[in-house]
Amino acid sequence: MPELPEVETTKSGIAPHLEGKQIKEIRVFEPRLRWPIPSDLATLAQGATIVSIERRAKYLLFHTSAGTVIGHLGMSGSMRIADLNSPRRKHDHVELEMADGTLLRYHDPRRFGAILWAGDNWAEHPTILALGPEPFDELFTGEYLFQATRKRSIPIKTLIMTNAIVVGVGNIYANEALFMAGVRPKRAAKRVTRAEAYRLRDAIVDVLTKAITQGGTTLKDFVNSDGQPGYFAQQLMVYGRDGEPCITCGEVLKLVVIAGRASVYCPSCQR
C-alpha cells in the first residue's frame, strides 16, 4: 500500500506538470472505487485552474479555482503524467486532461482508492476532519507523543499508526521507527518512557524523511509519478526481514502479528 512517502513522491512528481493549468476535461471510465466518484465531478471541475496540489496524510488535495478534489491511492493506485496519444491501460480509471495537452492518469487495479469532490470547505470533509498532526508539523513533538501514550494499553505500534494521533505512519515505517528507537512494537503505549517517546518521535521523522528523499518504498504495486518503483526498500532494517540477523547486533529478528499486521523486531536491541 502506498504510504506517506509514496504519496509525497507522487505529489512532487505531478505538481510541476499541473499547477497553474486549466482543466479541459475529466474522463471517468470506472466510477466504482472505494467510494463512488461523484457523477458530476467532470462538470464541477471542467474549466477550472489547478491552483496547487497538496498532501494531507495519504490524501492528495487538488485545489482548483472551483473547489478541491481529494484523491487517495488506496492499496494499489498510482497517478502518472502520460502522453496524450498513449493507449489507456485496463485499470486506468480516470483521466485529467489539461488545456495544454498534459494528461494525468489514475491507475488502480484493486479500486480501493478514491476521487472525491470537497468543494470550498475541504478541511471539513469527513476524510480530512479527524486527522491528527503531520509528522513534520511543529505540533508533533516528543512531549506530544509521550502525553498521547499515557493511560493507553494498546501496543505502541498501534498507537503511532492511529491517524488521530499522527498521520502517515504506515506499517513499514512503524516497524522501522520502533527499531530505531529501541522499542518493541507490542509494548503497551503507557509503558513507554518520556525518553523513549522523544526518541520514537525523532525516529518517525527520520525514517519518513529518508523514504521521501529516496522515492518511497519498493512494493509490488507501487510506482511513482514517472512509473518507476521507489528505492527505500533496500534500506529497510527490520520490515520483511524476520528470521534474518539484526544488522546491529546479529540477533535473529522475530515476527509478531499486531492488529493483523506483520511486526518484525530485534529481541536484543528493542525492549
**Following DSSP, what letter does each residue of 193-223 receive, concatenated?**
-HHHHHHHHHHHHHHHHHHHHTTS---SS--
H/E run at residue 27: strand 23-28
Predicted local distance difference test score (pLDDT) of residue 185: 98
Contact partners, residue 4, CB within 8 Å, separation at least 6 = 55, 57, 58, 135, 167, 168, 169, 170, 173, 208, 212
Predicted local distance difference test score (pLDDT) of residue 6: 87
| Phi–psi pair at 170, nearest 5 degrees | -80, -175
Predicted local distance difference test score (pLDDT) of residue 219: 42
The ranges assigned to domains in the chain are 4-129, 142-265
270: cell is: 528493542
CA-based angle 2:192:160, to the nearest 5?
15
Q: For the domain 142-265, what is the CATH code?
A: 1.10.8.50
CB-CB contact of 160 with 204 (8 Å): yes
Chain mean pLDDT for the chain:
92
Please give, one letter per residue, the 3-state secondary structure of 56-88.
ECCEEEEEECCEEEEEECCCCCEEEEECCCCCC
Q: What is the identity of the amino acid at 139?
A: L
Predicted local distance difference test score (pLDDT) of residue 228: 53
Write the Ramachandran bin of 132: left for phi over 0, alpha for psi from -120 to 50, otherwise beta. beta
Write the Ramachandran bin of 54: left for phi over 0, alpha for psi from -120 to 50, otherwise beta. beta
Distance between CA 38 and CA 234 in Å, rounded? 40
Distance between CA 227 and CA 2 in Å, rounded? 14
| Residue given cell 469527513 in the structure block | 126
Predicted local distance difference test score (pLDDT) of residue 212: 87
Fold topology of 4-129: N-terminal domain of MutM-like DNA repair proteins (3.20.190)
In tens digits, the chain (271 residues) has pLDDT values of 678 988 998 999 899 999 999 999 999 999 999 999 999 999 999 999 999 999 999 999 999 999 999 999 998 899 999 999 999 999 999 999 999 999 999 999 999 999 999 999 999 999 999 999 999 999 999 999 999 999 999 999 999 999 999 999 999 999 999 999 999 999 999 999 999 999 999 999 999 998 888 765 544 444 455 555 444 455 789 999 999 999 999 999 999 999 999 999 999 999 9
Catalytic residue annotation: 2-3, 58, 261
Q: Please state the pTM of the whole predicted model.
A: 0.88
